[in-house]
Amino acid sequence: MIANKVRELLARAGITVGGDQPWDIQVHDQRWYARVWRERNLGLGESYMDGWWDCPRIDQMIHRLLTHGLQEEGGAQIKELAYQLPAVVYNLQSRLRARIIAERHYNLGNDLFFSFLDPNLQYSCATFADGDDLAQAQIRKLELIAAKLELKASDHLLDIGSGWGGLAAYLARKYGCRITGVNISQPQLDHARQLCRGLPVDFQERDYRAIEGCFDKVVSVGMFEHVGRKNYRTFMKVVARCLDKNGVFLLHAIGNNISRLGSDPWINKYIFPNSMLPSLAQIGRAAENLFVIEDVHNLGPHYDPTLMAWNDNFQRAWPQLSSRYDARFKRMWEYYLLSCAGAFRARNIQLWQVVMTRHGSGTNQPRCRHGLIPLEDTQERRETK
């Protein structure tokens, strides 16, 4: 019986259906067992959106599933491969398709994103030291980026995937540098231009493949996840073409431990369409003969508390959001934030900052590490919160 098989698998991770631990699952619809067995990750996420089950701490439940390897078990292996097939056959992130992610995610509404982000509107991993709140941790991340880039007032910085302009505004004010930001989301660009009015910042609506000019430094934060396996080399060639021979490039991106052909089917369908998390091997191959990889810094453990802070803010803001977004959307969004927190806590996915210089330029190695205080005992503190 499928229900018994699902219960047995969950029990191996210490998860009990109907149990009283915060990571235990309460099933409200008996069809849930067959759905999860058949559709795996997609079925787990969709059935939560549909209200078929609940769990007080989804982050802890996902952490347990992943650390016990249960994501590799269950049925529907052929169906799982079918979800990956389009990414193998087609370029899902071509110029013609590149705006899909903006339309279906980043253009959802500034009110949604501003409800849970920090004052500098950083929709990427913060870097925490003891006692930091989200706002302080995001400033620490911005300062870390500036330090690794060795940013100075005379620099012209290219920001690929510039979001709502928070990074550009902060760096322009603090360091006095000139910045060009490139983005394809109109709501983000509108806000970024308003935020940076009066600063030496110019925002352009264009695909990264159409970038022109030469820049002293290049940064890309949280955008490479949308480039896609078939375009990694193209992205690196664009950066190499635009970067001064003595310049520094910093790539800040979520990554996979394994080189994969596609992405999680639930994340792809509901959160980040056509997204793909690169492995270090894929980044390295894409950069070969174009860049010297100076430093790879894994900040993955810091994404767990970042996501938990975002969810706390989102839950507090929900009464003001509920007139625009329905209850199913709320369950989708909290599942996204909490399941990703659990995945980072399980070390299933990572966040890398990769510092690079131009291959063949003989550029001196930049000072890549600047006293970041490590985040310790993340799992223990999350489990006992």
Catalytic residues: 340
The string of DSSP codes covering 251-301 is EEEEEESS--SS--HHHHHHTSTT--PPBHHHHHHHHTTTEEEEEEEE-GG
The residues facing 279 across adjacent strands are 256
- Helix (H), strand (E) at residue 64: helix 58-67
- Short-list 297, 155, 161, 147, CA closest to 235: 161
3-class SS of residue 374: coil
Phi, psi of 160 (to 5 degrees): -90, 115
How far, CA to CA in Å, does 357 sit from each of 142, 183, 287, 295, 370?
20, 23, 10, 10, 18
CB-CB neighbours of 53 under 10 Å: 20
Q: Note the residue count of the chain.
A: 385
Rounded (5°) CA angle 85-90-96:
140
**Backbone phi, then psi, for 117, in 5-degree steps?**
-85, 170
* Cβ partners under 8 Å of residue 273, min gap 6: 100, 101, 104, 105
Contacts of 365 (CB under 8 A, 6+ apart): 294, 357
Instruction: Fill in the DSSP letter of residue 117.
Output: S
